Amino acid sequence: MIVEEKDQGQRVDQYLSEVLDISRSKVQTLIKEEKILVNGESVKPNYSVKKDDNIEVNDDLDFTITVEPEDIPLDVVYEDDDLLVINKKSGVVVHPAAGHYSGTLVNALLYRFNLSSKDPIRPGIVHRLDKDTSGLMLVAKNDKTHEALSDMIKDRLVERHYLALVDGVIKHETGTIDAPIGRDSNNRQKQAVTEVNSKDAITHFKVLERFDKNTLLDCKLETGRTHQIRVHMNYIGFPIVNDPLYNNRKHNDFGQMLHSKSIKFTHPRTKEELYFEVEAPEEFQNKLEELIQIDS
């Protein structure tokens, strides 16, 4: 696998733990046994990965994932020769990983499109959405576009807004959460606000509507860390409604009420400013209708 610029600076054990979806201790064991090579050489677990590093994992457990095209319905909002804008459904995993080798967004994309080849497991994927987060995503069709879009996201030139329904009533009209995020030391499935092996994370929010016990927010990402909005809202005491990982209250199978509603960016080749917006899924809208009726 090839390290992208957005991932550089991470410890190699942390990076591989996330990419391969295995424990950090397992990665460290493989490193000790010299079954993980970076650019053909053995490294220590604290090695900081760099852009374009070539990482090989050689182990009896087969981490090589063959990504097969699958005829799965897609909601394509925009397409040209360079890129796609996809409206991802809640419940869809973005790319194959341990436990999810088929039925992913990547499987569906490969059936219909030629994608960038920078990462064979995540072809075309410039940024990710969590499985149960719905909405807009950028996908690159070629390596040049992939690199350009990745750089734009890194340089904060892609404007992304999310709808988020949270538990609790936020009194401030607007706010900014500036708190670093890294792996939760007590639960490897979770992220947390921490100073340990973390990266800067900034989320801006604006109140759209208040209900009796909930608040509807517009959240703007300045950075794009794993689970960022979910972690940040929980950190300030207003977890996302129906979030099974960060909200201890009752939840159903739909997943968190978080939707990537709009995206604005300059096309890397044509230099045209593009803006796209999609409505939240039916389950999200039904929940809002339910809260409106309760308040009326």
Report the alpha-carbon distance of residue 180 to residue 9 in Å, rounded.
15
Q: What pLDDT score was predicted for residue 189?
A: 81
What's the mean pLDDT when you consider all of the chain?
90
* pLDDT tens track for 209-230: 999 999 999 999 999 899 999 9
- Mean per-residue pLDDT for 82-101? 85
Looking at the DSSP assignment, which residues form a beta bridge with residue 275?
A: 264
Measured CA to CA, the distance from residue 237 to residue 245 in angstroms comes to 14
pLDDT at 61 over 60: no
Domains annotated on the chain, with CATH = 5-57 (3.10.290.10), 67-147 (3.30.2350.10), 156-296 (3.30.2350.10)
Q: What is the pLDDT of residue 106?
A: 93
User: What confidence tens digit (pLDDT) does each residue in 158-202 have?
Assistant: 999 999 999 999 999 999 999 999 988 888 789 999 998 888 999
- The dihedral of CA 120, 124, 125, 131: what is its sign? negative
Q: Which residue has the tokens 């990537």?
A: 260
Q: List beta partners, residue 293.
A: none
Nearest to 82 by CA among 289, 230, 267: 267
List active site positions.
Answer: 130
